[in-house]
Amino acid sequence: MIPASVSDYRLLAKKRLPKFLFEYIDGGAFSESTLARNNSDFQQLALRQRVLRDVSNVSTASTLLGQPVNLPLALGPVGIAGFNARRGEVQAAQAAEQAGVPFCLSTVSACSIEEVRTGTQEGFWFQLYMMRDRGFLQATLDRAWAAGCRTLVFTVDMPVPATRYRDIRSGLSGGTALQRQLTRICQVLARPRWALDVGIKGQPLSLGNIASALGDKAGIDEFWRWLGENFDASVTWKSLETIRQHWHGKLVIKGILDPDDAREAAKLGADGIVVSNHGGRQLDGAPSSIVALPHIVEAVAGELDILLDSGVRSGLDIVRAVALGASGVIIGRPWVYGLAARGGAGVSDIIAIYEREVRVAMALTGCTSIAELNRDILTSHNLSPSALTPG
């Protein structure tokens, strides 16, 4: 199959990855109702087709957090994404750099900050959780700054990790340690191409930025245990003031769904927020990001940059999000599907697919620049007109 869409790449990734890895990337929390709404709610927003406009010169160029980009899209932070292809985060960062869009490295990446920096020409964004081990946290911030990272994406919607049924069933987190290990070994043996590419040619396998904290015990089970022990459920907005004071670059707060929290982020002095429900991986039953977006735009538009993630599966979704007031979007699963299927070339193709779809959607709605995308190009089906207007 020649992949033509994000959904095509998802199928290729499923065929190539061990089951526990695919389910970790693809799944959500509990019954996955929010995961489903993230996708379906986008489809309720129809685009107004306009004709007989001069759309011979469409530009998708824009800016995100003051950074010029060729498309209002960034590759978002995804934990252990580098296990989906050989030195995976390096390949993804290179693809993003070549495409002229930002790449954000996760705290819990497979490749370290320094390895990704060595493989790229320019600085990238870095994502961080508030950890109980403040020494580790400060050292990680220092490493990111030394590597040229000037945009910090601080994830705030994970004071505790949610239950993800797929991870239990796949052997990533369920059962005894022996059961998990045997299950994963069988799944790896069933995917020899992945085992060769990642497990053998991709050596040394590591847990990137937290390898030093794990010491000699650097297996997947130890990795999850360390994370569970270090997520800090006591974090408040007051805690983030220290981060804001000591981080001299751009600060983006990721995981905002409520207008009051958006106002708190603006009060903190954040440069941007990401309207996000963690891809449906945390509070199942939370609203989709695209439904939350208009209310947040109404609350803080003009005070900081507003990005959106969760459910962006096409260039049409980018157009919808920007039309509702987002500066741009962040994608997670889609670029990992591309990485798993075809390495860096797959990531490049995913970005190109989004760019082509944005360009076509802009032309058929009569827009030639990102700045022209606003609510006038939206209509709705199966939703009342008031759904497009926050209230």
Coil, strand or helix at 225? helix
- What does residue 164 show for φ and ψ, rounded to 5 degrees? -120, 105
**Omega before 334 within 30 of 0, i.e. cis:** no
Cα 128 to Cα 237: distance, rounded to the nearest angstrom: 15
Cα 252 to Cα 59: distance, rounded to the nearest angstrom: 26
The amino acid present at 194, given as its one-letter code, is: W
How, if at all, do strands 45-47 and 67-69 pair?
unpaired
Q: How far is CA 225 from the centre of its chain?
A: 23
The angle subtended at Cα 367 by Cα 361 and Cα 372, nearest 5°, is 115
Asked whether the beta carbons of 362 and 59 are under 8 A apart, the reply is no
What residues are paired with 153 via a beta bridge?
127, 252
Active site residue 278: yes
Cα 92 to Cα 81: distance, rounded to the nearest angstrom: 9
Coil, strand or helix at 115? helix
Coil, strand or helix at 134? helix
Cα 21 to Cα 200: distance, rounded to the nearest angstrom: 17
Token pair recorded at residue 83: 């296990």
Report helix angle 333-364 to 19-26, nearest 10.
Answer: 40
Cα-only R_g, the chain: 20
Q: How many CA atoms lie within 13 A of 382 on its CB side?
A: 7
Cα 18 to Cα 194: distance, rounded to the nearest angstrom: 8
Cα 14 to Cα 12: distance, rounded to the nearest angstrom: 5
The answer for residues whose C-beta is within 8 angstroms of residue 352's C-beta and 6 or more apart is 99
Cα 123 to Cα 61: distance, rounded to the nearest angstrom: 20
The amino acid present at 330, given as its one-letter code, is: I
Catalytic residue among 248, 278, 295, 381: 278
- The catalytic residues are 278
